[in-house]
Each structure stands twice: as C-alpha cells, then as structure tokens.
C-alpha cells in the first residue's frame, strides 16, 4: 500500500463534488430524457401513419409526463444529494437537463417533418431552421419546466 505524506500544517485539498454531481445529474437526466423523447416521437410518427396503432392522446400525455418528470427527478436528485445546494441549484440543474432534452427535440425536428410530409403525400421542407424567436421561446419553456420540476421536487422532498 502506497501512502503519501501530508506536509505539516497543510490542509488536504477539497474536491468540488457539488459541481461535479450537478454536471453528472445534468448529463444523466438530460441524456435519459432525450432518449425517452426520441422514442416517444418515434412512436408518435409511426402511430400517425396507422390509425389503429396507438391513440395519439396517450403518446401526447406520455410526452407531457416526461417533460415534467425529467426536471423533477433531476431537481430531486440534486436536493437529496447536496443539502447545501438548495433550491436554486436544483432549479439550475433541472433547467439545464431540459435544455439537453430540448436540443434533442430540435435535432429530431427535420426527420419528423419529413416523415409527416411523406405521410401526407407532400414534399418535405428542405431547410428547417429555427429563428431567434423560436430558440428564445424554447429556452423560456425549458426554464418554466425546470421551475415546475423544482417545485414538484420541493413538494415531494
């Protein structure tokens, strides 16, 4: 066993576990939410082509539950893992996790639009680009969902 000597009078260096845990929570919950959103969007596009497959309302409700569950779970994990972090840190983690999910949704948008256009028999739009207003609106929705998720986590903790 290898031991290191500590110099007399020196305090051991502290690691910033709170920051690392927050980044890890953002990555884990953001990625899991993005994968779940991609699966639900895939099911929704398949169900749109078939009238008897799955009710579209059920998939829409599942998307709504997902959009509230991801920030609530991320905020709950932050509140439970780092008691000194508080509600502000939980809100930031929940909002950042929703930004990851939002980015995945924006990435899926051209494929969904092409699939929907092909199902209707019209030509697919070529250059789907988001304008500044759409990006700002998406960011506001992420912040609102982060706040709702933090509120849910605070109520349940």
Treating both helix axes as pointing N-terminal to C-terminal, what angle do 132-156 and 56-81 enclose, rounded to 10 degrees?
60
Give the burial string for 52-84 (b: 16+ CB within 10 Å, else e). eeeeeeebeebbeebbebbbbbbbbbbbebbee
Spatial CA neighbour of 102 closest among 57, 77, 70: 70
pLDDT (tens, 9 = 90+) of the chain, 157 residues, equals: 445 555 555 554 444 555 667 888 888 999 999 999 888 888 777 776 665 556 667 777 888 898 899 999 999 988 887 666 788 999 999 999 999 999 888 888 877 777 777 777 777 667 667 788 988 998 999 999 999 999 999 998 8
SS3 98: helix
pLDDT of residue 13: 47
Residue with structure tokens 């990625």? 31
């Amino acid at each position: 066993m290898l031991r290191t000597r500590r110099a007399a009078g020196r305090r051991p260096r502290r690691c910033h576990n709170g920051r690392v845990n927050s980044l890890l929570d953002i990555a884990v919950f953001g990625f899991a939410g993005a994968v779940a959103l991609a699966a639900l969007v895939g099911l929704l596009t398949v169900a749109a082509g078939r009238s008897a497959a799955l009710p579209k309302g059920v998939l829409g409700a599942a998307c709504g539950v997902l959009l509230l569950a991801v920030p609530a779970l991320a905020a709950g994990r932050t509140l439970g893992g780092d008691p000194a972090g508080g509600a502000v840190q939980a809100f930031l983690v929940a909002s950042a996790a929703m930004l990851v999910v939002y980015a995945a949704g924006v990435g899926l948008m051209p494929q969904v639009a092409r699939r929907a256009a092909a199902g209707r028999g019209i030509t697919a739009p070529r250059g789907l680009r988001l304008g500044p207003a759409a990006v700002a609106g998406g960011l506001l929705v992420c912040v609102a969902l982060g706040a709702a998720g933090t509120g849910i986590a605070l109520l349940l903790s």
